[in-house]
Structure 1
Amino acid sequence: MSVLELTYTAPLDAVDAVLEEHVAWLDEQYAQGVFLASGRKNPRDGGVIIAVAEDRARIEEISARDPFVTAGVCAYRVVEFTATKTAPELERYRERLG
């Protein structure tokens, strides 16, 4: 499982100019089962996405196609972690150590 932290690298008007495309891209990732949750940071200087994929390379490949990235308005930081404890609703994503 991964936490993706987006940090805006451009003014909000530039971010908002590609927001519709970004939301469509998010919808595609939800439909494919990659994204579990997402939203804006507060204050609005970026966002956070919780994602699942085979490996970090896949997450990096997906995030590189984000319209925010291709438009040059945000940068990503990917934090991988092993989800050894989850809420019941996320049990199917629970991982075992070792």
Structure 2
Amino acid sequence: MLHLLRLEYTGSEEAAAPHVRDHVAFLDRHHAADTFLVSGQTVPSGQGGLIIAAGVDRATVEKIAAEDPFVRAGVGRHTITTIVPGRTHADLAGLLDSDAP
């Protein structure tokens, strides 16, 4: 399974600014655990970001999203879309083989 987490700021980017350092640490932690495959700001900036997560089930990714410092501070929220890949590029297949049901 893949999970697409779309982060939207609930207010201004300035309101989120004090929480950026903790949010980056959150991203680093989940990238190091190989749960987050990709993360980045949406373009144009100031609207939020996107994370692609794998290797965990939906309940776990919901728990992870709730732990985001932006969410905890009330300056952001995640919308989660879960997909079961039907076709996968060969370069990604190895990353997805260990996914949780």
TM-score (norm 1): 0.89
Q: CA RMSD in A?
A: 1.5
Contact persistence 2:35–2:56 (CA under 8 A):
no
Q: How do residues 1-98 of structure 1 correspond to structure 2 at under 5 angstroms?
A: 1-44=2-45, 45-92=47-94, 93=96
Equivalent residue pairs, number? 95
Deviation per CA, 1:24-82: give whole Å up to 9, x if none. 00000011111000111112201100001331100000010000101111111000001
Give structure 1 stretches of 5+ with no counterpart.
none
Deviation per CA, 1:3-42: give whole Å up to 9, x if none. 0001110211111111010000000001111100011111
Give structure 2 stretches of 5+ with no counterpart.
none
Matches of 1:10 and 1:35, distance apart in 2: 25
TM-score (norm 2): 0.86
